[in-house]
Amino acid sequence: MTADAVPGRRELHFPSGADRCHAWLYLPVADATTGPPPVVVMAHGLGAVKTLRLAAFAERFRDAGYACLVFDYRHFGDSEGRPRELLSIRRQRADWHAAIACARSLPEVDGDRVVLWGTSFGGGHAITTAAEDPGVVATIAQCPFVDGLASARQLSPRSTARLGVAAVRDQIARLLGRSPVRVKVAARPGEIGLMDAPDVTDGFLTLLAASGLTEEEARNAVPARVAFEIPVHRPGRQARHVRCPILFCVCDHDSVAPAEATLRHAAGAPRGEIKRYPAGHFDIYTGDHFERMVADQIAFLDAHVSASVAA
């Protein structure tokens, strides 16, 4: 573990597969009367990295008394892994379990009170991981990707066909040992991408600006082969197997992870709670929607995890 340039957090690495994931560790001010704090394990969405506004959420959780372990998936951000920006569902799910193992090993936190927090594609991973790990005490799935087919239907038939061609070309390149054929994650009209709804470009640019990043600095392209995985990926089906309290934060105007699919799966979670927001997929990272959502999430944590009293 090393010191970070940002006050109040530290950098660390943890192993996942043959590589290492990079993470930020946020710790609240120590309080001898309460003992080690619960820890929230956090990761981003489709092709995204922790520098895209995850610090804003982690800082609020820390100020409310929760430790946070915020990590980049392998192949992304500051984590290791080649080729860069490889979007592998299987590897990302393994990264979540590795991050939980890391969190439970940290002496500064209460390893028996691990919370999962995932947004967008990471929200789907959080659901699946909570279903697989009975030791998780609470989960927050923010505008979660729950149904690949429902999300794929947001693309036009022409866009779907072009994306399929790119995926075939990428698979051939992989078999021949060539560089990946890449597609945009957030695509402008006319570009080949995983998301191309009308509000995607403006939402992505707003998220970049709020994170202090430019479009040139963003790695907004991934190997196209993931296009074969996404339509059949349905993590929402695991919601009925999540035994801990789970909060679904649903954006009613979500053009990436449709609200109808999320609400349908959330209804099957035994201890599920739902909060709805009159917002689009990218709106909840800034402004009033962010303020309302993070306040609801802290209230959920205080009700079910408690930053002040160990279970």
Rounded to an integer, what distance in angstroms lies between the CA atom of residue 181 and that of residue 174?
9
What are phi and psi for residue 21, nearest 5 degrees?
Answer: -95, 145
What domains lie within the chain, and their CATH numbers?
Answer: 2-149+234-304 (3.40.50.1820)
Cβ neighbours of residue 177 closer than 8 Å, sequence gap 6 or more: none
How far CA 216 is from CA of 81, 86, 180, 191, 299, in Å, comes to 22, 19, 20, 16, 37
Burial class (CB in 10 A: 0-12, 13-18, 19+), 200: buried
Query: What pLDDT, in 10s, does the model give residues 263-307?
Result: 999 999 999 999 999 999 999 999 999 999 999 999 999 999 985
Query: What pLDDT, in 10s, does the model give residues 57-110?
Result: 999 999 999 999 999 999 999 999 999 999 999 999 999 999 999 999 999 999
Give just the sign of the alpha carbon dihedral 104, 109, 112, 117. Answer: negative
pTM score, two decimals? 0.95
Task: Report the interhelical angle of 89-105 vs 121-132 (nearest 10°).
Answer: 60
Confidence of residue 203 (pLDDT cuts 50, 70, 90): very high
DSSP 69-81: EEEPPTTSTTS--
Cβ neighbours of residue 209 closer than 8 Å, sequence gap 6 or more: none
